[in-house]
Structure 1
Amino acid sequence: MSSRHLHCRRRAQQGVYAIEYAMAFLLFFGLVYSIICYSVVFTFRFGLQNAAEDGARAALRHQTSLAARQLKAQEVAQERSLGWKPAAAVLTIPLPSVCQTGTGNCLQPAGTLPCDTTWAQRCHVSVTVRLSDLRQVLPPFPAFALPDELIGEARVLLDGSAL
């Protein structure tokens, strides 16, 4: 081959490296951006779960009644959530439910529930922490890939002898 012919081939290939770099960069950037978006979601989810678990553990502390245990669990879950919750997201912590494990009967407001040491009458406390309106907080990403609401739930079995 002549040198002139080689020079023309090299000149025709000059832009290929820029195109390959652009394609590789887009793939790499998309991967890194996805990892960052999902790590933010998992961090929020982890915080919700910890708040719910702390609230459930607070229900195990001695209180005068089941209603007082519910209020203490809700208060602790709220307190643990406020330190890291994004300002634009909506945090919802309903009053934790107290239900009998064997029958499924739950404590009604201003009601009583026979919690005892027998398995059928043991009670558990369920704490739920919800974080919604996450679209305002999370980085822009396709709507189908990221949730709009995250939920943390925890449940502890109350010892009937301590009631």
Structure 2
Amino acid sequence: MKAIPASASPCFQRGAYAIEFAVVFLIFFAVLYAVICYGMLFAFRLGLQNAAEDGARAALQYQSTIDGRKNRAVNVAISKSNWMPQVVKPVVSAQICRAEGSNECTPLTCGPAWSQRCQIEVLVQANNLESLLPPMPSFAVPSQIAGKASMLLDLR
């Protein structure tokens, strides 16, 4: 019968499970922490996108002037983003411009003709996310998130 080496005896293995648990727990906790933080970011981003889309849809409701449509879009986007905490109060902006297929928004006269069609672009931004989310490395959390929507306006 072979003799058991002293380093393999049960009394020298005491605490091995505690060390394994500590290593596995740190990895598990880091993954769980990241999932919660990014889940909150995605929820905030989805809420901002929803507010921007609702604001753009509100511009389709009849208003007597183009600026009235723009103001209606901003007011609806603000009311839909009021659920955000005061620390990251969203900033809403809207602009009406020609829909010429380019990414540039040129404010020209809008009309009922196809060549004079206009669109509204609603942008909802939230800054200061570092103060709301649990602390993470700065490369992992964006400083701002935004939702953007555009809608082709019918000016008849």
Structure 1 pair 63/18, CA: closer, same or farther in 2 (3 Å)? same
Q: Which runs of 5+ in 2 are unaligned?
A: none
- Give the counterpart letter for 1:98 in structure 2: I
Residue 132 (1) aligns with residue 127 (2)? yes
Cα deviation code 1:24-43 (max 9, x no counterpart): 11000110110000001011
Question: Can you list the C-alpha shifts for 1:33-58, whole angstroms capped at 9, x where unaligned?
Answer: 10000001011101100100000000
Instruction: Return the alpha-carbon distance in structure 2 between the equivalents of residues 88 and 63 of structure 1.
Output: 33
Structure-1 separation of matches of 2:7 and 2:71? 81
- Note the residue ranges of structure 1 that are not aligned, 5 or more in a row: 108-112
Preserved contact between residue 53 and residue 154 of structure 1 (Cα < 8 Å): yes
The size of the alignment, in residue pairs, is 152
CA–CA distance in 2 between the matches of 1:12 and 1:79? 65
**SS at structure 2 position matched to 1:38:** helix
Runs of 4+ in 1 over 6 A off after TM superposition: none
* Partner Cα separation in structure 2 for residue 48 and residue 33 of structure 1: 23
Distance in 1 between the 2:153 and 2:32 partners?
Answer: 44
TM-score (norm 1): 0.86
TM-score by length of 2: 0.90
| Residue in structure 1 matched with residue 88 of structure 2 by the alignment | 89
- Give the drift of 1:2: 4.0
Structure 1 equivalent of residue 97 of structure 2: 99
2:6–2:12 contact (8 Å) kept in structure 1: no
Residue of structure 2 in register with 1:72 after alignment: 72
**Structure 1 position 7, deviation (Å):** 9.0
Q: 1:20 to 1:116 in 2, by over 3 A?
A: same
The Cα RMSD (Å) is 1.8
